Amino acid sequence: MIRFKNVSKLYPPNVVGLDCVSLHVQPGEFVSIVGKSGTGKSTLAKLLFAEERPTRGVIEIGGWDITHIHDRDIPLLRRQIGVVFQDFKLLQKKTVYENVAFALQVAGVFPRRIREVVPQVLDIVNLGNKLARYPKQLSGGEQQRVAIARALVHSPKMLIADEPTGNLDTLNSREIMDLLKKINEFGTTIVLVTHDREMVNRLRRRVITLEDGKIISDVEEGRYKL
Amino acid sequence: MFVSSYRVTKFALQNFWRNFWLSLITLSMLLLTLFTINLLLVLNVVTDRAIALVEDRVELSVYFYDSTQETTLSSAVAYLRGLSQVRDVEIISADEAYQQFIQRHTDDAQIMASLQELGENPFGPTLVIKADQVGDFEMIIDALDNPQFRDSIREKDFSDYQSIVERIQSITDRIQVFVIILALVFLFIACLIVFNTVRIGIFIHRDEIAIMRLVGANNWFIKAPFLLEMVLVSFIAVGITIAMIYPALILIEPQVDVYFGSQSAGLFEYFTQNGLLIFGGEFLALVIITFVSTGMAMKKYLKV
Ligand SMILES: Nc1ncnc2c1ncn2[C@@H]1O[C@H](COP(=O)(O)OP(=O)(O)O)[C@@H](O)[C@H]1O
Ligand SMILES: [Mg+2]
């Protein structure tokens, strides 16, 4: 699913984001990327959905070499990858339903299909009864679930979550983690960036640890060290 | 495609309303630009008509000696009328020339006195020739060098309308240069304002645009609303111009026509006959110009 070959990312002038990282993720895996702040976790995530281009190395997603992906092909890539962030990135002036529908609208999907898909994914994240609410009227956990629903709307092969529980309390965080596990069980590859020790330890899945832009450990069914 | 067009249109209209004051400024600037351009057109039409009118009056006077035989004169007239370049030949007899001269100088005591002194009519018959085009006179003057009557010709006088035409031309040229510069300045300001409107539009919608990118919106879907908004503004600007220019012409025309004597300056006629070309062209030009400015703003601030 994901293949990094000696990938480095330098930010101008010469800040090291990632330093010669190689890794391989199988389809259907649930991988956690952990490490201290500033060690390149978000950089790795951004390279996956082509928000940043690598300075050196090769990146393949599902057999597609996106190392030098053309701007006009990025939308195509993004529809195969769902992304969620710590700050949810919801549109405050749109309802839950509209926020999720927006992702389909801007891809030119027909209204009938939108009316079909949006309630389905909102059911998956357990928000089928809050379609007309605005983000402000939801808890943090609920907002993150809207963001996840939006990420799922194109039935992506991969979901990237950069600190999805960073703004949430333990209870809400657990809910989100359970949701991610559920999505993973449906077959979606999940890349979870986090520094939440408890969440990772409860998962018992593959853990990749970064330090100063390098992979310092990569273990199946790992635990959060440090 | 149809679905997307609908959504893009909706976004464009939203842009327009959310940025209402900015849109209004853009619109005003485009209107000013259109106003100066149309003023230029009006000026052109009026100048052309004025010059045509003056050229219409250009004539060549051929003075014959008072001893000239009637037959020589009529053969000259016949010969001239036979030339294709000649539109009209008017014959002024010696007596008529004398009367006209007296009439013209009746207030000038000195001239009248010297005329008195002469005692007899010093004038010969005169032919007044009008040509189809001003340029034809040279050819007609050459043609007058005919052995049949060239020795009877005392003088040829090419009425000095050429200098009037040149004067009109130089005045209007100067006005035109000024209006063109004005139009260019307005156009440049319009471009800056469009650029800025788009920049602010991108800023206002930055969250939406970031999310659009994140969820894989087509690039043109992000760009199209900005472009469409400019098409809309251009369309409204041309629409308002059309709605204002025809009533304005109806008001102005009679006042301009005064200077053209019995003839009309033909402004209204010109704008009705070429309306589609003029306003279609202006719309197209605005769209192209606003597209370029919008494109530059998007390139700089949208990074799609
Ligand atoms: N856009 C950027 N420009 C310059 N430096 C950046 C940029 N983004 C990240 N960095 C730097 O790259 C390093 C890794 O950042 P990041 O991947 O965000 O770390 P993490 O997500 O693990 O906290 C840090 O030193 C950070 O300051
Ligand atoms: Mg980070």
Residues of B in contact with A153 (CB under 8 A): 215
Hey, which of A39, A53, A194, A209 would you mutate to test ligand 1's pocket, going by the most ligand atoms within 8 Å of its Cβ? Answer: A39
Q: Determine if ligand 1 sits within 6 Å of the CB of residue A37.
A: yes
* Ligand minimally distant from the alpha carbon of residue A38: 1
Q: Determine if ligand 1 sits within 6 Å of the CB of residue A195.
A: no
A99-141: pLDDT as tens digits:
999 999 988 889 999 999 999 999 999 999 999 999 999 999 9
* Structural domains in chain B, sorted by start: 2-54+164-301 (no CATH), 59-158 (3.30.70.3040)
CB pairs A-B closer than 8 Å: 60
Expressed in angstroms and rounded, the spacing between residue A145 Cα and the centre of ligand 2 is 20
| Nearby residues of B274 by Cβ (< 8 Å), 6 or more positions away | none
A108: nearest CB among B4, B208, B210: B4
Would you state the pLDDT for residue B92? Answer: 85
* Contact across the interface for B216 and A72, Cβ inside 8 Å: no
Question: Are B226 and B15 spatial neighbours (Cβ–Cβ below 8 Å)?
Answer: yes
Amino acid at B52: A
* Contact across the interface for A106 and B218, Cβ inside 8 Å: yes
CATH number for domain A2-219, candidates 3.40.50.300, 3.30.2310.20, 3.30.1370.110, 3.30.565.10 = 3.40.50.300
B216: nearest CB among A75, A91, A111: A75
Scanning every residue of chain B, which has its alpha carbon at the shortest distance from the alpha carbon of A113? B3
| Alpha carbon of A111: minimum distance to chain B alpha carbons (Å) | 8
Burial A52-87 (b: 16+ CB within 10 A, else e): bebeebebebeeeebbebeeeebbebbbbbbbbbbe
Closest residue by Cα to residue A178 from A207, A152, A149, A202: A202
pLDDT at A226 exceeding the cut of 90: no
Helix (H, G, I), strand (E, B) or coil at A90: coil
Q: Determine if ligand 1 sits within 6 Å of the CB of residue A14.
A: no
Which of the residues in chain B have pLDDT under 70? Answer: 1-3, 159-162, 262, 303-304
Closest residue by Cα to residue B205 from A92, A72, A73: A92
Would you state the pLDDT for residue B1? Answer: 57
Determine which helix (DSSP H) or strand (DSSP E) holds A125, and give its type and residue range.
Answer: none
| Alpha carbon of A107: minimum distance to chain B alpha carbons (Å) | 5
Hey, which of A18, A19, A42 would you mutate to test ligand 1's pocket, going by the most ligand atoms within 8 Å of its Cβ? Answer: A42
Q: How far is CA B135 from CA A170, B131, B140, B147, B167, in A?
A: 96, 8, 10, 24, 18
Beta strand extents in chain B (DSSP E only): 59-64, 86-92, 126-131, 153-158
Contact residues of A toward B, CB < 8 A = 49, 71-72, 74-79, 83, 89, 91, 102-103, 105-111, 150-151, 153-154
A100 vs A117: CA distance, rounded Å: 9
Q: Which atom from ligand 1 is nearest to the alpha carbon of A35?
A: 22
Hey, which of A11, A19, A195 would you mutate to test ligand 1's pocket, going by the most ligand atoms within 8 Å of its Cβ? Answer: A11
A8 vs A3: CA distance, rounded Å: 13
Would you state the pLDDT for residue B160? Answer: 64
| Alpha carbon of B221: minimum distance to chain A alpha carbons (Å) | 7
Expressed in angstroms and rounded, the spacing between residue B199 Cα and the centre of ligand 2 is 29
Expressed in angstroms and rounded, the spacing between residue A11 Cα and the centre of ligand 1 is 8
* Contact across the interface for A91 and B216, Cβ inside 8 Å: no
| pLDDT above 90 coverage of chain A, percent | 88
Would you state the pLDDT for residue B135? Answer: 72
Q: ipTM of this model?
A: 0.87
Would you state the pLDDT for residue B131? Answer: 80
Would you state the pLDDT for residue B2? Answer: 62
| Nearby residues of B132 by Cβ (< 8 Å), 6 or more positions away | B85, B86, B87
Q: How far is CA B9 from CA B93, B112, B153, in A?
A: 77, 82, 78
Contact residues of B toward A, CB < 8 A = 1, 3-4, 7, 207-208, 210-219, 221-222, 304
A150: nearest CB among B210, B215, B219: B215
At residue A223, φ and ψ (nearest 5 deg) are: -125, 155
* Number of residues in chain A: 226
Would you state the pLDDT for residue B136? Answer: 77
Average pLDDT, chain A: 93
At residue B99, φ and ψ (nearest 5 deg) are: -60, -45
A131-181: pLDDT as tens digits:
999 999 999 999 999 999 999 999 999 999 999 999 999 999 999 999 999
Ion ligand 2 nearby residues (CB, 5 A): A 42
Asked if the peptide bond before residue A13 counts as cis, ω within 30 degrees of 0, the response is: yes
Residues of A in contact with B217 (CB under 8 A): 75, 106-107
For chain A, give every domain's residue range: 2-219
* Contact across the interface for A108 and B213, Cβ inside 8 Å: no
Q: % helix / strand / coil in chain A, to the nearest 5?
A: 35, 25, 40
Mean pLDDT (whole number) for A47-58: 95
Would you state the pLDDT for residue A57? Answer: 96
* Ligand minimally distant from the alpha carbon of residue A41: 1
Would you state the pLDDT for residue B48? Answer: 83
- Tokens representing residue B23 in the block: 């849109």
Expressed in angstroms and rounded, the spacing between residue B102 Cα and the centre of ligand 1 is 101
Q: Which atom from ligand 1 is nearest to the alpha carbon of A41?
A: 22
Question: Are A221 and A31 spatial neighbours (Cβ–Cβ below 8 Å)?
Answer: no
With cut-offs at 50, 70 and 90, classify the pLDDT of residue A225. Answer: low
Would you state the pLDDT for residue B256? Answer: 81
* Contact across the interface for A106 and B219, Cβ inside 8 Å: no
Closest residue by Cα to residue A159 from A197, A121, A187, A119: A187
Find residue A53's DSSP bridge partners.
Answer: none
Burial B83-98 (b: 16+ CB within 10 A, else e): bebbeebeebebeebb
Helices B2-18 & B20-57, crossing angle to 10 degrees?
Answer: 90
Helix (H, G, I), strand (E, B) or coil at A11: strand
> Where on the phi/psi map is residue A134: left (φ > 0), alpha (ψ -120 to 50), or beta?
beta
